[in-house]
Structure 1
Amino acid sequence: MPPDATPEPFDDLPFGRRLKLLRTRRGLTRDSFGGLVGKSASWVKSVESGRLATPKLSILLRIAEILRVRDLAQFTGDQSVAVDLFTGPGHPRLPAVRASINGLPALTARQAPPVAHLRARLDRAWRARHSSPHHREALGRLLPDLITDAQLAARQAEPRAQRRAAQAVLAEVYALSQFFIAYQPAADLLWRVAERGMVAAQDSGDVHAIGVSSWLMAQAHRDAGDWDAADAVTTQTAAALEPHVADAGTPARAMWGALAFESAYTAARRGETGVAWGYWDTANAVADRLPTAYYHPVTSFSQAIMGAHAVTVAVELRAGGESVRQSERAPAGAIPSRPRRARHEIEQARAYHLDARPEEAMSLLEQAQKAAPETIRYNGYARRILAEEMDSRDASRRHRASALSHKMELLAS
C-alpha cells in the first residue's frame, strides 16, 4: 500500500485520530508538526484529542500539504468535498502515451531507427519542452513514436556498445515521459516508467543515464511520502557516481550536483534545516564550477537554478521571511526554460503566501500562468493557494483568484 493510501480503519475515525495517525506515520512530533503548521504543540494535541473542532479550510490545506495527503475527502472523512490536492487533470494525449509505454514493439518486424537519429529526436524533444508554454501538449505529440522507436532500438541494436548506447537513450526517453505523466491521474504509469528507466540506465552502464534515472526515482519516492527511500536513492547514487565525476563531462557533473540538491529538498521536507542548507551548499559549489551558460536539459541544474532551489528549501522549511528574502534574490528571468521558470514563480508565490502576503503571491501565480499555462494548471501548490484565496473574506481577492482559476480551466470541470 502506498504511504499516502488510507487503510480501511480510517473510515470510522474522527478527524483528530486521523491526524495523529498520519502525523506519527511521518515521524513528526507534535512540536515539529505544529511548527510546520504555524501552531503550538498544545494546539495539535487539542485537535487530535477532539477538544478543538476540525480546522478551517486554509489550515486543512496546509496540513494536507505537510502530510502529503492527496485527497482532502480522504483526510477529513467528508466525501462531499472530494479534492485531489496534488494531481492535476488528465491530458488528452495521455492515452496515446500510455499505449506506447504498454505496447510490445519487439513483437513486430519494424526496423528501429539508428541510435544517433533517436538521440537527435530526443534532444529536439527536450528543447520543445523547455521552449513551449504548452509543454505537455508538445511532449504528448512527440512521445508515442519516440517511446516505441527507443524500445525497438534497445532490443535490436548491435554490437554490444551500440546496444548500451540505445539503452541510455531509452532511459532518457522514459525520463522525458515522466515529465509528461507527472501530476496526472496515472500513478501506476509513472512508477512503471520510473522503474523501466532505472533498468535501462543500469543496463547501459552510462554514468549520466544512471544519475538521471535515480534523480527521477528519488522524486517519485518523495512525492509518495517515502522520504527514507528518496534519501537512499540520492545518497547511494551520488556516492557511486562521485569517483567518476572528475573524468566525466559537464552533464555528469551537473547530474551529481542535482542529486545533492534532491537530498537538500528531502531534508527540507523533513524539517531538517541544517542538513538541508548543507546539501544546498554542496550543490551550489558544484554549480559554481559549471560553465556560466550551461543548463542541464533534464534536471535544469545550472548556476541559474540555484536561487530557485534556495527558495524551495526555505519554503519547504516553512520559513516565511527567509523564503521571501531568497525569492527577492532569485529573479525568474534568469531561468531559460519556460516550464521551469513558471515552476519557480509558483515557488515564489508559496513564499509570499507563507509570509501572509497574498497580493504578491497572486501576482506571481498570474506570471506563472502567462509563462507556462500547463505548468500551473497541473501544480498542486498553485491550486492550494487559489483554493484559500477563493475562501477569503475579501471579495476582491476571491474575484482575482476566481479569474485565474477560470484561465487555468479549474472551474470548468
Structure 2
Amino acid sequence: MTPSSDTPDPYADPLVFGQRLQILRNRRGLTRDQLGGLLGRSASWVKGVESGRLKTPKLELILGIAEILRVRDLAELTGSQTVHVDLFAGPGHPRLPAVKAAVDAFPVSTPHEAPPTAHLRARLDRAWAARHKSPNHRDVVGALLPDLIRDAQTAVRQADRAGERRAAQAILSESYALCQFFVAYQPDAPLLWRVAERGLISAQESEDPRAIGVAAWLATQAHRDSGYAHFDAADAVNLATLAHLTPLLPDAPNQVLAIAGALTFEAGYTAARRGETGTAWRYWDQARAIAERLPADFYDPVTSFSRAIMGAHAVTVAVELHAGGESVRQAAAADAVTIPSRPRRARHRIEEARGYQLDGQPDAALATLDKAHEAAPETIKYNGYAKRIVLEEAESKIPARRRRASELAEKMGLLAA
C-alpha cells in the first residue's frame, strides 16, 4: 500500500492554537471585536493570536476563551492530545444508558395498561421533590426516569378522550423536562436535543399553558448554551412563548405566572450573555415584579422561580455581564440559604464563585465552590464554570491556594481517568 492511500494521521500536521481559535470563533458566530470585548482585549489582539503574531496566551486566558466559545474538550482548542479536560460536558453518568434507551425506544405496542394520569402526576411530583432534596440528584432522578417516560408515553397512546390525551401529553412533556435536567452537560448533545424537541411537541399537543412555558424555557436554554450564533433562536422561542402567555397573566394561577417570570428572566440572561446591560437588567426588573405577585413561600419545582431566587438571578446577570464588583455586591445581597433546592443552591454558589473570580478574589471563589460541593456534588461535577476556576487556581503561584484548588479538583472528580 502506498503512503498516499494510507488513512491520514489527523495529528501529523496539527493546527496551531491561533488557527484553532479562529475556526472555533467562526463556528460560534463571534466576530473578533465581540470575542475581544468578552475577554477584555481588543480585536487586534484576537487577530494577533489567530495569525500567530502573538504567542499562545496563558492558561487563565485559554480557559476564558474556552468558556466563551463553549469548548467541550480543552484539547479541541489547544491541540494537545495529552490532556483532555471536558469543560462543558461532564462524564457520562452511570444511569445515562438506561435513560437514553427509554428516550430512544419506539414502542409500537402497549403490553400493559397505563397508570392513571393522577398516579403519574404524583410520581412526577415525587421525582421533582427528590431532585431538590438530594445532593446526588442525578443518580436519584436517573433511577426514576426510564419507567416514568415509558408509562407517560403509554398513557398518551391509550388515552380515549381528547381531554385525557391532553392531560397525558402535559405529564409526558414535564417528564421530558425532568429528563433534560438529567441529560444536560453529559456527553450526548443529540440526546439532549431529542428530549427538548419531544418536550416541545408534547407541550403543544397538551395545549396546557404551563407545559408550553416549561418546554420553551428549556428549549431557550438549549439554544443559548449552543453558543452565540444560537442566541437569536433562544430569543425567538422565549419571546414567542411570552407573547402567548401574556394575555393569560392577569388571572393566571401561580404555576403559569411563575413560568412567565422564569421566561422573562431567561430573556435577560440571554441579553446579559450578549453584553446588553440595560436590556438584561430591564428583564430582571420585570421578572422580579412577577415574582412579587407570587406567595412568599411559593417555589416552582421545575424552574425554581420564586421571590427567593431573584437575588441569585441578579448575581447571574452581573456575572454574565462580566461585572466583578457588581457580582460581589449582588452575592452579598442574595441569601443562598433561602433557596430550598440543593442543586439550585449549588448552582447559585458557583455563580457567586464566578463573581469573586471576576473581582480578583480567588480564595473566596474556591471557598464558595466548596460550599457548592457540600450542597450538591453532582451539580459542581458537571459545571464547566466551576471546572474553569479550579483548573485556573491549580496553576496558582501561591502554594496554599494551589493546594486548595487541587483538593477541590480531586473531590470534583477532575483527576479521574
TM norm structure 1? 0.94
* Amino acid in structure 2 at the alignment position of 1:202: Q
1:84-163 matched pairs, under 5 angstroms: 84-163=86-165
* Amino acid in structure 1 at the alignment position of 2:372: A
The structural deviation recorded for 1:318 is 0.8
Aligned 8 A contact 2:98 2:146 in 1? yes
**Which residue of structure 1 lines up, in the alignment, with residue 7 of structure 2?**
none
* Amino acid in structure 1 at the alignment position of 2:416: A
Identity %: 66
- Match status 1:306 vs 2:277: no
Number of aligned positions between the proteins: 404
- Match status 1:323 vs 2:327: yes
* Amino acid in structure 2 at the alignment position of 1:132: S
**Which residue of structure 2 lines up, in the alignment, with residue 168 of structure 1?**
170
Quick one: distance in 2 between partners of 1:357 and 1:123? 40
The structural deviation recorded for 1:369 is 0.6
Which stretch has the larger CA shift, 42-51 or 264-273? 42-51
**Which residue of structure 2 lines up, in the alignment, with residue 3 of structure 1?**
none
Unaligned runs of 5+ residues in structure 2 are 1-9
* Amino acid in structure 2 at the alignment position of 1:276: A
The structural deviation recorded for 1:26 is 4.6
The structural deviation recorded for 1:67 is 1.9
**Which residue of structure 1 lines up, in the alignment, with residue 18 of structure 2?**
16
Quick one: distance in 1 between partners of 2:108 and 2:147? 14
**Which residue of structure 1 lines up, in the alignment, with residue 255 of structure 2?**
251
Q: Deviations over 1:258-284 (max 9, x none)?
A: 111111111111111111111111111
Q: Deviations over 1:388-411 (max 9, x none)?
A: 011112221121111112222221
Quick one: distance in 2 between partners of 1:153 and 1:398? 54
Aligned 8 A contact 2:20 2:76 in 1? no
Q: Deviations over 1:279-301 (max 9, x none)?
A: 11111111111111111110001
* Amino acid in structure 2 at the alignment position of 1:400: R
SS at match of 1:81: coil
- Match status 1:402 vs 2:406: yes
Aligned 8 A contact 2:110 2:154 in 1? no
1:236-247 matched pairs, under 5 angstroms: 236-247=240-251
Q: Deviations over 1:29-78 (max 9, x none)?
A: 54443232122344333223322111111100101111222222212233
**Which residue of structure 1 lines up, in the alignment, with residue 3 of structure 2?**
none
- Match status 1:390 vs 2:394: yes
- Match status 1:216 vs 2:218: yes
Aligned CA-pair RMSD: 1.6
Distance 1:407 1:78, change over 3 A: closer
The structural deviation recorded for 1:102 is 1.7
The structural deviation recorded for 1:27 is 5.0
1:185-200 matched pairs, under 5 angstroms: 185-200=187-202
* Amino acid in structure 1 at the alignment position of 2:176: Y
The structural deviation recorded for 1:352 is 0.3
Distance 1:18 1:367, change over 3 A: same
The structural deviation recorded for 1:79 is 2.5
Quick one: distance in 1 between partners of 2:110 and 2:208? 28
- Match status 1:296 vs 2:300: yes
Quick one: distance in 2 between partners of 1:119 and 1:25? 42
Quick one: distance in 2 between partners of 1:247 and 1:160? 25
* Amino acid in structure 1 at the alignment position of 2:70: R
Unaligned runs of 5+ residues in structure 1 are 1-7
TM norm structure 2? 0.93
* Amino acid in structure 1 at the alignment position of 2:120: L
* Amino acid in structure 1 at the alignment position of 2:335: P
Quick one: distance in 2 between partners of 1:115 and 1:32? 49
* Amino acid in structure 2 at the alignment position of 1:56: K
* Amino acid in structure 2 at the alignment position of 1:299: T
**Which residue of structure 2 lines up, in the alignment, with residue 70 of structure 1?**
72
**Which residue of structure 2 lines up, in the alignment, with residue 5 of structure 1?**
none
- Aligned partner of 1:266 among 270, 276, 279: 270
**Which residue of structure 1 lines up, in the alignment, with residue 184 of structure 2?**
182
The structural deviation recorded for 1:21 is 4.5
**Which residue of structure 2 lines up, in the alignment, with residue 283 of structure 1?**
287
Quick one: distance in 1 between partners of 2:323 and 2:157? 50
Quick one: distance in 2 between partners of 1:63 and 1:347? 18
- Match status 1:358 vs 2:369: no
* Amino acid in structure 2 at the alignment position of 1:162: E
SS at match of 1:232: helix
Which stretch has the larger CA shift, 70-79 or 274-283? 70-79
SS at match of 1:107: coil
Please identify runs of 4+ aligned residues in structure 1 that moved more than 6 A. none
